[in-house]
Amino acid sequence: REQIDSEQFLSPNALRSAAERLIQQLVEYREQTAVSTAVLGMSGGVDSALTAALLKTAGWRVVGYTLPIEQDPL
């Protein structure tokens, strides 16, 4: 609550409002461009999950691909 009060984080109502604006913009873009499928690289993290959820809510067909990451374990 302290972080919301100090405006480090948005309140639940402000988050809901921001999400509604984003979703409306995604709907409008889908309608204007006649593109309705999004292909996403899915990491399993919050960013890709949120992106997929916003697109789905806006009526997009979402295709997610998990790609292996080759890293040197040192």
Q: What is the mean pLDDT of the chain?
A: 89
Q: How far is CA 18 from the centre of its chain?
A: 12
In the chain, the percentage of residues whose pLDDT exceeds 90 is 64
How many other CB atoms sit within 10 Å of the CB of residue 4? Answer: 13
Q: What is the pLDDT of residue 73?
A: 67
How many other CB atoms sit within 10 Å of the CB of residue 26? Answer: 19
More confident residue, 4 or 6: 6
